[in-house]
Chains A and B, each alone.
Chain A
Amino acid sequence: MYELGPHVRQEQQNHDLLSETKVLCGVGSQSTKSRTKGISTFVGVLRCRAERLADKQVFCLLVDGETEGDRLSYAELDLRARAIGAALQSCAKMGQRAILLYPSGLEFVSAFYGCMYAGVTAVPVYPPNFSRPQRTLPRFLSILSDAQPSLVLTTSLIKSLAEKLYAEQPELRAMCWLATDLISIEQSQDWVEPTIAEETLAFLQYTSGSTSQPKGVMVTHKNLICNAEIIKRAFNDSEESSCVSWLPPYHDMGLVGHILQPVYVGGSSFLMSPVDFLQRPFRWLQAISRHQVTTSGGPNFAYELCLRRITDEQRSTLDLTSWRLAFSGAEPVRAETLDRFAKVFASCGFRREALYPCYGLAEATLMVSGAVAGQPALVEYADPKALEKGQVVFTDENTNTARALVSCGRSPLEQQIVIVDVDSLTECEPQRVGEIWVKGGSVAQGYWQKAEESERTFQARPLNTDKGPFLRTGDLGFMKDGELFVTGRLKDLIVIDGRNHYPQDIELTVDSSHTALSYGCSAAFSVDIDGKERLVVLAEVRRFNRQDQATGSDGTPRQSDLSGREVPSESVYQVREIGLRQSLDMKEVSGAIIQAVAENHDLHTHAVLLLKAGSIPKTSSGKIQRHACRAGFLANTLDVVFPFKNSGLLGNSE
């Protein structure tokens, strides 16, 4: 039995009719640890908050990232959720899926809670840009086909935009669209509390998987409550906690961290749109300063943007003394960024100890491990050469080549992390880098309708123990004295500016960007350059037709190698003496790749290397070996026909 704080005890006396659950949820005085134990779903959490903190503001939208716009109190959010929930109950069954198609804002928040209130599984997605359908619709349509939703919840504005595409996109017309902003509040009276349990799916998180094969992570209420409790304890959250988020609400960090967590702890949340932040990163820190926010963060690049774009004059207006927890996660946490941020913003009252490195992923709801709040981030230095071989050799901070590794903190007690050798699938010796495996209540149920892949990823067991089952994170790291250090990725996933990109998606774009390129003959990967992940593309160029050659061909017949593949003779490319016309052609090919990648993936390509046909590293079955491509790029051993760096020809303008 928990010890109830004085405030809660009083409440208990005043409201004899309150159920035990509600009393235990008692969110009272500071001395009482906020108890949501006994409540097993997020519907219960919000109902409880709405009762206890009815008039407290929980969400406020910052219009243009600055002006306070729409707000919701706990009672209002509960009312909106009941109205939307009732509307859903009248047209969908429990357990069916509803796509959520909203801009960042309070209508999304209400619809998300509305789904939970109806026992309908929410599927939040990035709203496609209907004015640029060719670029943004494919992913949406592929999620639509994977999730098999019964309906799409959206705003009346987005609904009207989608309707214009009905003629060309029968998949859109076939859906049942519901504009939730038109649902009247009176409908809340029809709401019937659903019989949901902790095993009920709360939402599908579609941040994993490539465009052609999206993967929806199945997150239950139990996962949410477990992770919310982990974060609350790690962050020392209370009702006094307030946060501001510019993160997309369709992602784990934006959604779980800023739309669910504030409600769980009884705090408050300010939301702004990601583009308002990117346009003017100052708005983020300005919001923290104005609203005296306690908790806010983002990926490493957000801190970099602040350092780069906030002027001295803007900085002089900031008061960051209230900011006690500035988390950094979702991409590698860089010691150098943390250090500069702490120094530069110290003049605003920002405390170095507020910086909070953490590690997590959607497959584990959100957070896996985190530092100790209020203590400076722990940094270790390791020999990078040894790390590449999977060995951890600590070195002196002052060694020139030393790689600074920021600890992502400890695992909470109820969760287990093991480091597993990816070849032998046995637990690693200490001082060895391996894949990070996680077991605990936050680990999601698997990928929606992907039994085999779920089994592989979510039910793994190290061979030399009887522990498990574990989630395979696909991230590499090691443990030292109970602290987790993340060193890289096992998967080929490219993470730039906090966004995940699948190399196969980029390669598909590359292959079709110019007629000189062929399908299945390109590789996309990232390399660390000056402390930032950057995209590199390799692509084989087809041999030129005779009439395309800059200088006359000697007319020799095509040669074949032992595997029967055609090997172009040197003269076909004129590699040694690139004629002017041909070098322009190559530049055109590189330019086409860069443009297509920017248009389709919003990515800056750092370098394009055009390779001799048949030379890109592939497996015997013809699959691209991205690791070998990357290693070849770094060691400069590729058969390059034309190297192009986005700031000029490689080697020329550097």
Chain B
Amino acid sequence: MKLKADNLEAWLVAKISSLTGIQAKEISVDQPFAHFGLDSVAAVSLSGELEDWLGRKLSPTLVYDYPSVKALADYLATLD
């Protein structure tokens, strides 16, 4: 499934909002994930949920390599 960065960003913001309880409108796409207090269990879980949604294998430590919503969405948008 090929998705645009915008869709990916929206999905990630919604997911982080549900993981942390922070309102979606308060989540800036440029802030590092750590800013929202995402711990390692949540960060690695996020890559697993992305796998399910995108139907493809992803590195468990993806969130560390692309540490903000924008960086991660941009990277995911480049995947085939």
Q: Which residues of A contact B (CB under 8 A)?
A: 64, 132, 273, 275-276, 278-280, 301, 305, 309, 496-497, 591, 594-599, 602-605, 645-648, 653
Contact = CB atoms under 8 A, between A and B. Distances in A.
Contacts of B56: none
17 contacts: A278-B41, A279-B47, A279-B48, A279-B51, A280-B51, A496-B39, A497-B39, A596-B34, A598-B37, A598-B39, A599-B34, A602-B41, A604-B37, A646-B36, A646-B37, A648-B21, A648-B23
Interface in B35-64: 35-45, 47-48, 51, 57, 60-61, 64
Contacts of B32: 595, 599
Nearest to B45: A278
B22 interface: yes
Interface in B7-42: 20-23, 32-42
Interface of B: 20-23, 32-45, 47-48, 51, 57, 60-61, 64
B45 A647 contact: no
A301 to B, nearest CB: 8
B64 A605 contact: no
B39 to A, nearest CB: 4
Contact of B22 (A278, A598, A646): A646
Contacts of A645: 21
Contact of A648 (B22, B37, B47, B57): B22
A415 to B, nearest CB: 33
Contacts of A595: 32, 34-35, 37
Nearest to A301: B41
A279 B37 contact: no
Given A279-B48, A595-B35, A604 B42 contact: yes
In order of increasing CB-CB distance, the 9 nearest A-B pairs are A647-B21, A602-B40, A275-B60, A598-B34, A279-B48, A278-B44, A279-B60, A604-B39, A594-B37
A602 B33 CA distance: 11
Contacts of B41: 278, 301, 305, 497, 602
A276 B44 CA distance: 9
B40 A278 contact: yes
The prevalent SS among residues of B at the interface is: helix
Given A278-B60, A598-B34, A598-B37, A604 B48 contact: no
Contacts of A594: 34-37
A275 B44 contact: yes
Contacts of B45: 278-279, 305, 309
Contacts of A596: 34
A597 B37 contact: yes
B44 A279 contact: yes
A181 to B, nearest CB: 22
Contact of B60 (A276, A309, A605): A276
B21 A598 contact: no
**Residue among B22, B38, B60 with the most chain A CB within 10 A?**
B60
Contacts of B35: 591, 594-595, 598
Given A279-B44, A647-B22, A604 B38 contact: yes
A598 B32 CA distance: 10
Contacts of B33: 598
Given A64-B57, A275-B60, A647-B21, A602 B51 contact: no
**Residue among A309, A496, A591, A598 with the most chain B CB within 10 A?**
A598
Given A602-B43, A647-B21, 14 more contacts: A64-B57, A278-B44, A279-B45, A279-B48, A496-B39, A595-B35, A595-B37, A596-B34, A598-B34, A598-B37, A603-B39, A604-B37, A604-B38, A604-B42
A301 B39 CA distance: 14
Contacts of B40: 278, 602
Contacts of A597: 37
A276 B59 CA distance: 9
A9 B6 CA distance: 72
A280 to B, nearest CB: 5
Contacts of A647: 20-22
A602 B39 contact: yes
Given A595-B34, A598-B34, A605-B37, A280 B22 contact: no
Nearest to A308: B45
A605 B33 CA distance: 13
Contacts of B23: 648, 653
